[in-house]
Structure 1
Amino acid sequence: MNIYDIAKIAGVSIATVSRVVNDSPRVSEKTKRRVRAVMEEYQYTPNVFARGLGLDSMKTIGIICPDVADSYMAAAVAFLERRLREYGYDCILYSSSHQQEKKEQAIELILKKRIDALVLVGSTYAGNGSDDDSTGYIKRAAEKIPVFLINGHLEGKNIYSVYSRDYQATFDVTSKLIESGRKQILFLTDSRSYSARKKLEGYEAALKSHGLPVRGELKVYTKNQVHYVRDILLSRRDLEFDSVLATDDGLAVGAVKYAHARRKKMPEELSVIGYNNSELSVCCEPELTTIDNTGEKLCNITIDNMMKLLGGQKDIPKEVPVDCCLVKRCTTDF
Structure 2
Amino acid sequence: MKKYSIKDIAELSGVSVATVSRVINDNGRFSEETRKRVLRVIEETGYKMNYSAKSLRMNKSFSIGILVPDISNYFFSDVVQKIEEILFDKGYSTIICNTARNQEKETAYLHMLEGKGVDGLIVISGAEAFEFDYSQIEKQIPYICIDREPKEKSRTIFISSNHYQGAFEATEQLIHSGCKQPIIAVHNRKSTSTKERLNGFKDALKKNNIAFNENSNLLNVDIRSSLFEADLISFLARNPAADGIFSLNDSIALEILLVLRKNIRSVPKYIKLIGFDDMPAGRYSSPTLSTVKQDTSKIALTAVESLLNLISFPSDTGKSIIIPVSLTLRESTQGN
Superposed pair shares fold, TM > 0.5? yes
Contact kept? 2:132, 2:149, Cα under 8 Å: no
Q: Output the amino acid matched with 1:50.
A: A
Contact kept? 1:274, 1:290, Cα under 8 Å: yes
Tell me which of 168, 177, 191 is aligned to 1:193.
Answer: 191
Q: Output the amino acid matched with 1:289.
A: S
Equivalent residue number for residue 173 of structure 1:
170
Matched, 1:265 2:266: yes
Equivalent residue number for residue 49 of structure 1:
52
* Aligned pairs for 1:209-228 within 5 A: 209-217=207-215, 218-225=217-224
Q: Output the amino acid matched with 2:221.
A: T
**Matched residue of 1:69: which SS?**
coil
Q: Which has the higher mean CA deviation after the structures are superposed, 85-94 or 250-259?
A: 250-259
Bigger relative contact order, structure 1 or 2, given CA contacts below 8 A and separation 6+? 2
Q: CA RMSD in A?
A: 3.0
In structure 2, the CA distance between the partners of 1:140 and 1:159, relative to structure 1 (3 Å rule), is farther
Contact kept? 2:131, 2:148, Cα under 8 Å: no
Q: CA separation in 2, counterparts of 1:103 and 1:246? A: 28
Matched, 1:145 2:141: yes
Equivalent residue number for residue 121 of structure 2:
118
Q: CA separation in 2, counterparts of 1:255 and 1:47? A: 54
Q: Output the amino acid matched with 1:264.
A: R
Unpaired runs of at least 5, structure 1:
1-19, 25-42, 129-133
Tell me which of 68, 71, 76 is aligned to 2:71.
Answer: 68
Matched, 1:331 2:328: no
Offset at residue 262 of structure 1 (A): 2.7
Q: Which has the higher mean CA deviation after the structures are superposed, 80-89 or 215-224?
A: 215-224
Q: CA separation in 1, counterparts of 2:289 and 2:153? A: 38
Offset at residue 280 of structure 1 (A): 2.0
Tell me which of 159, 163, 170 is aligned to 1:162.
Answer: 159
Q: Output the amino acid matched with 1:100.
A: Q
Work out the number of aligned pairs and report it. Answer: 291
Q: CA separation in 2, counterparts of 1:262 and 1:96? A: 37
Deviations 1:176-222, CA, capped at 9 Å, x for gaps: 32243312222112233111111111111222232222222332222
Offset at residue 175 of structure 1 (A): 2.3
Offset at residue 297 of structure 1 (A): 1.5
**Matched residue of 2:322: which SS?**
strand
Equivalent residue number for residue 238 of structure 2:
238
In structure 2, the CA distance between the partners of 1:94 and 1:212, relative to structure 1 (3 Å rule), is same
**Matched residue of 1:50: which SS?**
helix
Deviations 1:100-130, CA, capped at 9 Å, x for gaps: 33333332332222111100122x36x66xx
Q: Output the amino acid matched with 1:185.
A: P
Contact kept? 2:153, 2:318, Cα under 8 Å: no
Deviations 1:36-85, CA, capped at 9 Å, x for gaps: xxxxxxx9955543331132211100001011122222222111111110
Deviations 1:225-248, CA, capped at 9 Å, x for gaps: 598744532344324321111111
**Matched residue of 2:61: which SS?**
coil
**Matched residue of 2:57: which SS?**
coil
Q: CA separation in 1, counterparts of 2:244 and 2:89? A: 44
**Matched residue of 1:106: which SS?**
helix
**Matched residue of 2:212: which SS?**
coil
Q: CA separation in 1, counterparts of 2:101 and 2:263? A: 34
**Matched residue of 1:68: which SS?**
coil
Q: CA separation in 2, counterparts of 1:51 and 1:190? A: 47
In structure 2, the CA distance between the partners of 1:269 and 1:156, relative to structure 1 (3 Å rule), is same
Q: CA separation in 2, counterparts of 1:224 and 1:119? A: 29
Q: Output the amino acid matched with 1:208.
A: K
Contact kept? 1:244, 1:255, Cα under 8 Å: no
In structure 2, the CA distance between the partners of 1:299 and 1:275, relative to structure 1 (3 Å rule), is same
Q: Output the amino acid matched with 1:149.
A: C
Contact kept? 2:154, 2:318, Cα under 8 Å: no
Tell me which of 50, 72, 81 is aligned to 1:78.
Answer: 81
Offset at residue 331 of structure 1 (A): 0.5
User: Equivalent pairs: percent with the same residue?
Assistant: 21
- Give the TM-score normalised by structure 1: 0.77
In structure 2, the CA distance between the partners of 1:262 and 1:166, relative to structure 1 (3 Å rule), is same
Offset at residue 164 of structure 1 (A): 0.7
Q: CA separation in 1, counterparts of 2:132 and 2:70? A: 21
In structure 2, the CA distance between the partners of 1:83 and 1:142, relative to structure 1 (3 Å rule), is farther
**Matched residue of 2:58: which SS?**
coil
- Give the TM-score normalised by structure 2: 0.76
Contact kept? 1:228, 1:254, Cα under 8 Å: no
Equivalent residue number for residue 15 of structure 2:
none
Offset at residue 307 of structure 1 (A): 2.5
Q: Output the amino acid matched with 1:271.
A: K
